[in-house]
Amino acid sequence: MNPNLEKSLDQRLKQELPPPLSQAIPALGRMGEKLGLRVFLVGGFVRDLLLHRQILDIDIAVEGREGAARLALGFSRQEKILVQGYPHFGTATLHLPGNYRIDLATTRKETYPAPAALPRVRPGNIHEDLYRRDFTINSLALCLHPSEFGKMLDPFGGCLDLKRRRLRVLHPRSFSDDPTRIFRALRFEQRLGFRLAPDNLLLIRKALAANAISRLSGTRLLAEIKFSLSLPETAPLLARMGRLRILAGIDPSLKFGPETARVTRSLQKSLQWFGTAAGAGNFPGFEPWVANLIALTANLPEKKLEHFVARLAPSAKVRKKIAWDRTRGKMAREMLEANPRMKKSLIFSQLHQFPPEAILFLEAQTQKEPARKALRFFLHGQAFTKPETDGQDLKRLGIPPGPLYREILARLRDLKMNGETRTKKQELEWVRKQYGPHLRNHH
């Protein structure tokens, strides 16, 4: 790890970023000098630059009274670009040509009035701003002032931790001040391939013993769970959360045994498949994290599940999905396992009552390949086929419009799904045969 970027930052920016961004960053440093403000690249940006990872967000810290607003305003005037200011938070966003954005924040210090409460924020200098952050690897800053361009500020040993691939908080109270950092730590472990320092595991254990997670609001806890269940690495993440008793810290009835481990691993692959499956577009509201949550809570007794969901207070839509009928789901799975060559229309009628996230869970859960195939047939969207015939055609046949249309069209859909009809001609023949006598009676 070479933290000395004083000579090479400009070049690195040009390598890593599109021109509007690589030009704007040094220009912000020059504008800062003009306005008497110190300007720094901070947070995930510096971390990812040093790790040669793709840079996602550009975060800039500005030292000086109302620094972010003044710098943003000066820059937007000079460059004639759009700026959005949030004076209450001391932040501003620059919108650059090409749909790029840069977030600016005035440096600040934070104190926690109570464990797990939201912090109290006051103006502070760059050191205080770095000290309020979660991990040493996120507490690095790169100076943009023209006379010190590329100089690294590393007050807590973040560069060494990056080199050793180690996660470390800045002070012993960090996890209890902000228990969301427990979740963040485990996500960084998975995403970056890092490891928590052993004494930090101890700090997490202490925070859990003091019930840190139960002090988080439902909204904040739900947000962390959602992020954690949305990673491609969710299965190993959950396994680690189980081992470190973090799941138990969320809810004592959440268990992570070998069966949940198997299903979440299998679900990880299923989610990957589903993301690229042709039929995924048929399930527009599909949420991968909900599928993981269904797997994680699959063995919770009804009452405990209700209690857990009430604590998280998710949207009505998510709540409904999590409360899917697990007994009927199990019956459907067992039926498919026993009789996988069941007619497609029957599979459809069994499964369409469940949220797609639950069907994907069943698919990951079953160990019988033919049953898995049947579930994938449904998830592939082929089940959402429409017959060739429509209401106009039925009218032309002389069938009086009414509730019968729905029945006929549903039966035609089933025939097509089962491969029993292929063309419109065959469908119309079937209708005549089936409903012909009915028609004659009618006339």
Task: Compare residues 166 and 181 and give the one whose CB is closer to ligand CTP.
Answer: 181
Selected range binding ligand CTP among 31-39, 92-100, 175-183, 291-299, rule: CB under 6 A? 175-183
How many angstroms separate the CA atoms of 350 and 331, rounded? 9
CA atoms within 13 Å, Cβ hemisphere of 385: 22
Please identify which residue in 63, 79, 178, 224 interacts with ligand CTP, judged by CB under 6 A: 178
Site residues (CB under 6 A) for ligand CTP, limited to 138-157: 138
Residues contacting 264, CB < 8 A, separation 6+: 234, 235, 238, 239, 292, 295, 296, 364
- 60 phi, psi to nearest 5 deg: -125, 130
Task: Compare residues 67 and 355 and give the one whose CB is closer to ligand CTP.
Answer: 67
Alpha carbon of 405 to those of 390, 415, 421: distances in Å? 9, 15, 18
Task: Compare residues 108 and 133 and give the one whose CB is closer to ligand CTP.
Answer: 133
Site residues (CB under 6 A) for ligand CTP, limited to 6-65: 43-44, 56-57
Dihedral sign of CA atoms 202, 208, 212, 216 in order: positive
The answer to whether 136 contacts ligand CTP (rule: CB under 6 A) is no
**Rounded to the nearest 10 degrees, how much is the dihedral formed by the CA atoms of 174, 178, 179, 182?**
-50
Compute the least distance from the CB of residue 427 to ligand CTP, in Å. 53
Compute the least distance from the CB of residue 6 to ligand CTP, in Å. 22
Compute the least distance from the CB of residue 138 to ligand CTP, in Å. 3
The answer to whether 302 contacts ligand CTP (rule: CB under 6 A) is no
Compute the least distance from the CB of residue 107 to ligand CTP, in Å. 13
Q: What tokens were used for 131?
A: 């000290």
Selected range binding ligand CTP among 1-9, 148-156, 174-182, 261-269, rule: CB under 6 A? 174-182
Task: Compare residues 50 and 295 and give the one whose CB is closer to ligand CTP.
Answer: 50
Residues contacting 296, CB < 8 A, separation 6+: 229, 238, 247, 254, 256, 260, 264
The answer to whether 134 contacts ligand CTP (rule: CB under 6 A) is yes
Give the residues across from 110 on adjacent strands. Answer: 121
Please identify which residue in 38, 133, 372, 413 interacts with ligand CTP, judged by CB under 6 A: 133
Query: CA 32: distance to chain centroid?
Result: 36
Total binding residues for ligand CTP by CB under 6 A? Answer: 11
What is the residue-wise DSSP string for 163-205? HHTEE-BSSTTHHHH-THHHHHHHHHHHHHT-EE-HHHHHHHH
- C-beta neighbour count of 84 within 10 angstroms: 13
Binding marks (x or -) toward ligand CTP, 80..119, rule CB under 6 A? Answer: ----------------------------------------
Task: Compare residues 138 and 345 and give the one whose CB is closer to ligand CTP.
Answer: 138
Task: Compare residues 152 and 359 and give the one whose CB is closer to ligand CTP.
Answer: 152
Tally of residues, the chain: 443
Q: Which residues bind ligand CTP (CB under 6 A)?
A: 43-44, 56-57, 133-134, 138, 178, 180-181, 184
